[in-house]
Amino acid sequence: STQYVPPYTEECRTGMYPPQGPTFKGAVTWYTVDLDLPPSKRWSALMSEKKDDIANMIKVIKDIADAFVPSGKLIDFVDKVLPLIVDTLPYPYDEELKGIASASGVPLGEIALFNLFYEVFTV
Amino acid sequence: CTSVVAEDSNGNLIHGRNLDFGLFMGWDMKNKSWQITEQLKPLVVNIDFRRSNHTVFKSTGFAGYAGMLTGMKPHSFSLTINERFSMDGGYIGIIEWLLHHRDAMWMGFLTRTVLENATSYEEARSLLSQTKLLAPAYYILGGNQTGQGCIITRARTESLKPLELNLKQGRWYLLQTNYDHWKAPLFLDDRRTPGMKCMNQTLQPNISFKTLYDVLSTKPVLNKLTTYTTLMEVSKGKLESFVRDCPNPCMPW
């Protein structure tokens, strides 16, 4: 347990590449996004394939939000207010987010929350 | 996050990063992991953005996230973002946005716009330095010629103390975590010192995908928040990504 005491460091690793072993969880799959397509259609193929994974991730976010605000009002806010922000985003991102929500079946407000995560968590 | 841009002895630039995300967002006691970090791993994808059947840029991202955090324009430049925490953080930018002050750009969307439209390292650098942002950030930019590498520390409205590669001063690499380069990192979260120690041990003539992956695999540069590792070589248009895990003992951040 003392190893968890910061600043825990180890000797510089060698021989890790090509990736394998317990620190390697898998290769990353390649996809193509065709920028010639209308923005609402660009992500359709990718999101159809990943819709279960994104639904799982959104569910965990909701569970954490419910732990902080058990009334469910936080998620209500996300579902009702954040879709309004999407309409204010610059083109083509507004259309792309709507396309992502449509292809994944995840509510638009929750897709917006995922896309705004970085800005929110810089505090 | 940890980003590194390094130049080898032949003037070739290698750019790598660990994407760390999910701090304080649900600790799984049983598996000793962050819940959001684990849920993000299946969403990691490499994307080839194409127009008229030609690659415009390549990136590693999360399915469902339209902005970019890691990407490369082959033969032009590579770009990564590290989160910059500040009391003048992104929530103020969001409030301003809601109040109809919409002259700033969303951070991930700016990165994507730069990857899509900038045609050179210099143009990318200028856009990343001068565009008003909703949130503070660190941009780590690499080019395809000797000396082309810099850290752009962004406040919402200005660029602070840019730091560039400088071979004459022995600065053959730049390593950025989540702290301003002119200040010491938080002692509880010092990934800079072990990262630099490993880079210094590697030595410039030996820098490659292989050795940079070794640096990014050393704890605590690799930690419980690390979702993926990406390696990029602009001159060859090469981008490789790997989903990561950090078995115990491992720092939670």
B246 classed as catalytic: no
Quote the pLDDT of residue A63: 86
Phi, psi values for residue B242, rounded to 5°: -140, 135
Q: How close is the nearest chain A Cα to the Cα of B249, in Å?
A: 6
- Answer yes or no: is pLDDT of A91 > 50: yes
ipTM above 0.90, yes or no: yes
Considering only CB atoms, which chain A residues are within 8 Å of B39?
53, 56-57, 60
CA B184 centroid distance within chain: 19
Interface contact A96, partner B, CB < 8 A: yes
The rounded distance, in Å, linking the Cα atoms of A88 and A100 is: 17
Residue in the block written with tokens 């469902």: B64
pLDDT interval class at A75 (50, 70, 90): confident
Sequence letter at residue B104: A
Q: Could you say which residues of chain B have pLDDT below 50? A: none
Burial B86-118 (b: 16+ CB within 10 A, else e): beebbbbbbeebeeeeeebbbbbbbbbbbbbeb
Quote the pLDDT of residue A77: 84
- Answer yes or no: is pLDDT of A66 > 60: yes
Interface contact A9, partner B, CB < 8 A: yes
pLDDT interval class at A118 (50, 70, 90): confident
If DSSP codes are grouped into helix, strand and coil, which group holds residue B242?
A: strand
Q: Of the candidates B129, B127, B202, B212, which has an alpha carbon nearest to the alpha carbon of residue B164?
A: B129
Interface contact B205, partner A, CB < 8 A: no
pLDDT interval class at A2 (50, 70, 90): very low
Q: How far is the CA of B109 from the CAs of A64, A92, A123, B2, in angstroms?
A: 26, 10, 19, 21
Quote the pLDDT of residue B68: 96
DSSP state of A84: H
Quote the pLDDT of residue A1: 44
- Restricting to A residues 74-93, those with a Cβ less than 8 Å away from any Cβ of B are 85, 88-90, 93
- Answer yes or no: is pLDDT of A3 > 60: no
Quote the pLDDT of residue B45: 98
If DSSP codes are grouped into helix, strand and coil, which group holds residue A4?
A: helix
